[in-house]
């Protein structure tokens, strides 16, 4: 059943049109992911649904329903504690409970039978309503949601007034969930959550009985909860059935169809134009008339616009000048404390070509670990040793490496004085800083703009060992995909911290799970890490029985397996290159065999012999390729 229906809705801010004639239907029980570039109109759509904005034209209709709305940067001012503030969601039910208790006292003191019957009747109605609202479970529900969203029981008495912006947003999310509305609108709900809290929220929304619309840049999250995607692009809204990955697949298929249709039409246009020229050059009356007729057809033809590929997207490519040795980093018995212990006796090694994700709850010291490796933190115990010719490039999530008082162009140029102004402006253009944008002051840039400047500085560092702290935090979906491709093509080594599970899943070849007193290694991506964490076929007791030698041998075997897989991948790539080269040589020979002169000269015998030999070679190469690919 349709619960929200939009018909030809348009909205403008001044001369800027944000949404133009959009129409959509939200069905009861839908879980919809809303995606689009920053500024495309996603939050505006939510404000239209909750009537905070009125459309210039068109309408959004819905039955009388309860709507819960979490804005992206939700703000709350309260003198209450965390726990008491969240309980205000159930104020009506709490007052109902108070009324029931007052009735109980009155019933105990009443001796008039007719009055007592009335009181008992009222008591029965109130208790039925209380049970219907599940008032008896308020405390357990409040505790469950707060703990699920990352609040510890010892924090429940903390005043709301002292919370950080991120904590207040989580508090508002808790209230929105506990209100249990018919329709839940969530704008970037995962921004201030760690991975365990995001996974908890996924499960909560997956089994939520109501309807959910969620704006998110977290692709893994959208894959887990969405059964439909709304894409807002170029002022319009398009609906796709399925989760985020299915949307991307369908979007790419659509793009390929558009590209093919455009190319086919261009070929047809060229063919018609050539025919027109030929007929005009004949200078006969009939030919000229035919040319004019074809020209009219061409003029009336509805031209297909050339599909835009990756418009408004940054261009990324990481490279380095100096090759490192095989041993990149050795961390041994590392401990860190501030006003409390952060982590203790941490040891691990990084080898050339590794792409390692560091996971762990907030506050466990993931960013601090990166700062120790780059030399920004000195007050630690243990050892950190870099290998031969290792050059570090560091991407900081707080952007403290940027000078807030400088212009964008100077921030890049001052560290790369060997580049000309034209080269600097070209590089900045590829990171979407064009025209006067290059003269913007760093301190006035948005988070996304600062991220682009930091990424450009990282590229120009020519580092062979990249340390990345939440590199996708301020990037839109397209930019994340570009970054992922660039990192997959990078021939160096990566060590990164991220809450973006889609990013981790695509990039990581190893996961390090950091806790206060240990670091565990998992040889694989995020999906492999989750699978291993959830395995129940081996008990913790059996794992504890393993000797240090057994664990070391397992690591060696895993490393050897990785190296073997890498060799096989390289061999497969060399075969693919040889196939392309052989097919090219065969094509050249086939073109020669179409020349009558080679038959007269007798050269055809050598060509035929070489052709047969290459065909046989190609057959063998394909057999080898199929065997390795299978």
**Structural tokens at position 480:** 């994340």
Which helix or strand (DSSP H or E) is residue 236 part of? strand 236-241
Domain-wise residue ranges, the chain:
250-300, 327-537, 551-629
3-state secondary structure of 348: strand
Environment class of 103 (CB within 10 Å of its CB; exposed 0-12, middle 13-18, buried 19+): middle
* 447 contacts 38 by C-beta, under 8 angstroms: no
Query: At which residue do the structure tokens 């599970």 appear?
Result: 501
Among 105, 110, 146, 103, CA closest to 125: 103
φ, ψ of residue 113 to 5 degrees: the values are -65, -45
Strands 465-469, 392-395: parallel, antiparallel or unpaired by DSSP? Answer: parallel
Task: Give the distance from CA 317 to its chain's centroid.
Answer: 19
φ, ψ of residue 324 to 5 degrees: the values are -90, 170
Q: Which residues contact 323 (CB under 8 A, 6 or more apart)?
A: 389, 464
Query: In Å, how far are 113, 121, 125, 127, 506 from 110, measured between CA atoms?
Result: 8, 14, 18, 19, 71
3-state secondary structure of 393: strand
Which helix or strand (DSSP H or E) is residue 466 part of? strand 465-469
* 408 contacts 427 by C-beta, under 8 angstroms: no
How many C-beta atoms surround the C-beta of residue 604 within 10 A? 17
Maximum Cα–Cα distance for the chain, whole Å?
Answer: 128
Among 357, 351, 360, CA closest to 510: 357
- Bridge partner list, 212: 31, 184
Distance between CA atoms of 210 and 69, rounded to whole angstroms? 13
**Structural tokens at position 473:** 């935090």
327-537 is classed in which CATH architecture? 3-Layer(aba) Sandwich (3.40)
Among 279, 388, 341, CA closest to 518: 341
Mean pLDDT of successive 10-residue segments in the chain (630 residues)? 92 90 94 88 92 93 90 79 93 91 86 84 89 89 92 91 84 92 92 85 93 92 94 93 93 90 89 82 75 84 79 80 93 91 92 94 88 92 94 90 91 90 89 88 86 91 94 84 91 94 93 91 91 67 60 71 71 78 82 72 74 81 69
Distance between CA atoms of 4 and 168, rounded to whole angstroms? 29
**Structural tokens at position 291:** 């040319």
* 177 contacts 144 by C-beta, under 8 angstroms: no
How many C-beta atoms surround the C-beta of residue 189 within 10 A? 29
* 330 contacts 385 by C-beta, under 8 angstroms: yes
DSSP structural state of residue 133 = T
Give alpha helix (H) positions in 418-547. Answer: 421-430, 447-460, 477-489, 501-507, 526-534, 540-545
Environment class of 581 (CB within 10 Å of its CB; exposed 0-12, middle 13-18, buried 19+): exposed
* 530 contacts 504 by C-beta, under 8 angstroms: no
Cα-Cα-Cα-Cα dihedral sign, residues 485, 486, 491, 495: negative
Query: In Å, how far are 4, 44, 64, 66, 184 from 50, measured between CA atoms?
Result: 11, 10, 12, 10, 11
Environment class of 509 (CB within 10 Å of its CB; exposed 0-12, middle 13-18, buried 19+): middle
Query: In Å, how far are 43, 231, 239 from 12, measured between CA atoms?
Result: 14, 19, 22
Which helix or strand (DSSP H or E) is residue 617 part of? helix 604-629
pLDDT of the residue at 537:
44
* 122 contacts 164 by C-beta, under 8 angstroms: no
φ, ψ of residue 218 to 5 degrees: the values are -90, 100
- Bridge partner list, 4: 26
Distance between CA atoms of 464 and 351, rounded to whole angstroms? 12
Q: Which residues contact 245 (CB under 8 A, 6 or more apart)?
A: 219, 223
DSSP structural state of residue 303 = P
- Number of residues that this document lists for the chain: 630
Q: What is the CA radius of gyration of the chain?
A: 32
DSSP structural state of residue 14 = T
Query: In Å, how far are 130, 391, 462, 494, 566 from 394, measured between CA atoms?
Result: 56, 10, 11, 10, 26
Sort residue 497 into left (φ over 0), alpha (ψ -120 to 50) or beta.
Answer: beta
């Amino acid at each position: 059943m349709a619960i929200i229906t939009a018909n030809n809705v348009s909205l403008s801010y001044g001369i800027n049109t944000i949404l133009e004639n959009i129409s959509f239907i939200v069905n009861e029980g839908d879980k919809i992911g809303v995606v689009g570039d920053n500024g495309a109109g996603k939050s505006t759509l939510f404000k239209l649904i909750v009537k905070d904005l009125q459309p210039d034209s068109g309408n959004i209709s819905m039955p009388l329903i309860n709507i819960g709305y979490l804005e992206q940067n939700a703000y709350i001012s309260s003198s209450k504690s965390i726990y008491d503030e969240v309980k205000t969601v159930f104020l009506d039910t709490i007052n109902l409970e108070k009324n029931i208790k007052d009735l109980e006292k009155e019933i105990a003191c009443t001796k008039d039978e007719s009055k007592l019957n009335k009181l008992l009747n009222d008591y029965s109605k109130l208790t039925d309503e209380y049970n219907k609202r599940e008032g008896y479970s308020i405390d357990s529900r409040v505790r469950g949601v707060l703990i699920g969203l990352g609040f510890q029981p010892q924090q429940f008495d903390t005043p709301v007034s002292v919370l950080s912006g991120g904590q207040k947003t989580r508090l508002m999310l808790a209230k929105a969930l506990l209100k249990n509305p018919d329709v839940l609108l969530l704008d970037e709900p995962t921004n201030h959550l760690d991975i365990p809290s995001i996974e908890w929220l996924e499960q909560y929304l997956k089994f939520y009985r109501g309807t959910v619309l969620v704006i998110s840049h977290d692709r893994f999250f959208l894959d887990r909860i969405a059964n439909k995607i709304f894409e807002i692009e170029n002022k319009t809204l398009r609906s796709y059935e399925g989760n985020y990955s299915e949307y991307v697949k369908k979007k790419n298929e659509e793009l390929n169809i558009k590209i093919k249709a455009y190319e086919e039409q261009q070929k047809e246009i060229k063919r018609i134009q050539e025919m027109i020229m030929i007929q005009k050059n004949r200078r006969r009356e009939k030919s000229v008339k035919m040319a004019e007729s074809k020209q009219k057809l061409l003029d009336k033809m509805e031209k297909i616009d050339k599909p835009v590929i990756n418009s408004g997207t940054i261009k990324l490519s990481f490279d380095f000048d100096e090759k490192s040795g095989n041993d990149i980093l050795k961390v041994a018995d590392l401990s860190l404390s501030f006003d409390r212990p952060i982590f203790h006796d941490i040891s691990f090694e990084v080898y050339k070509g590794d792409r390692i994700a560091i996971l762990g709850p907030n506050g466990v010291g993931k960013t601090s670990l990166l700062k120790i490796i780059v030399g920004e933190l000195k007050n630690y115990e243990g050892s950190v040793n870099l290998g031969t010719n290792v050059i570090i490039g560091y991407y900081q999530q707080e952007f403290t490496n940027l000078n807030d008082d400088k212009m964008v162009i100077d921030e890049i140029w001052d560290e790369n004085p060997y580049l000309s102004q034209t080269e600097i402006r070209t590089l900045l253009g590829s990171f979407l800083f064009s025209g006067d944008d290059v003269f913007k002051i760093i301190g006035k840039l948005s988070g996304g703009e600062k991220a682009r400047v930091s990424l450009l500085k990282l590229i120009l560092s020519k580092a062979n060992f990249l340390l990345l702290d939440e590199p996708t935090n301020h990037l839109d979906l397209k930019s994340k995909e570009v970054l992922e491709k660039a990192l997959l093509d990078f021939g160096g080594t990566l060590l990164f911290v991220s809450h973006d599970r889609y990013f981790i899943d695509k990039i990581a070849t190893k996961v390090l799970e950091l806790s206060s007193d240990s670091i565990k290694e998992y040889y694989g991506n995020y999906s492999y890490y989750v699978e291993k964490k959830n395995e129940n076929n081996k008990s913790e007791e059996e794992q504890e029985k393993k000797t240090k030698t057994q664990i070391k041998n397992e690591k060696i075997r895993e490393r050897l397996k990785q190296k073997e897989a890498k060799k096989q991948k390289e061999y497969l790539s060399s075969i693919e290159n040889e196939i392309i080269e052989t097919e090219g040589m065969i094509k050249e020979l086939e073109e020669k065999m179409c020349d009558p002169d080679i038959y007269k000269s007798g050269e055809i015998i050598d060509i035929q012999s070489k052709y047969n030999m290459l065909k046989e070679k190609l057959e063998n190469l394909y057999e080898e390729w199929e065997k390795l690919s299978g």
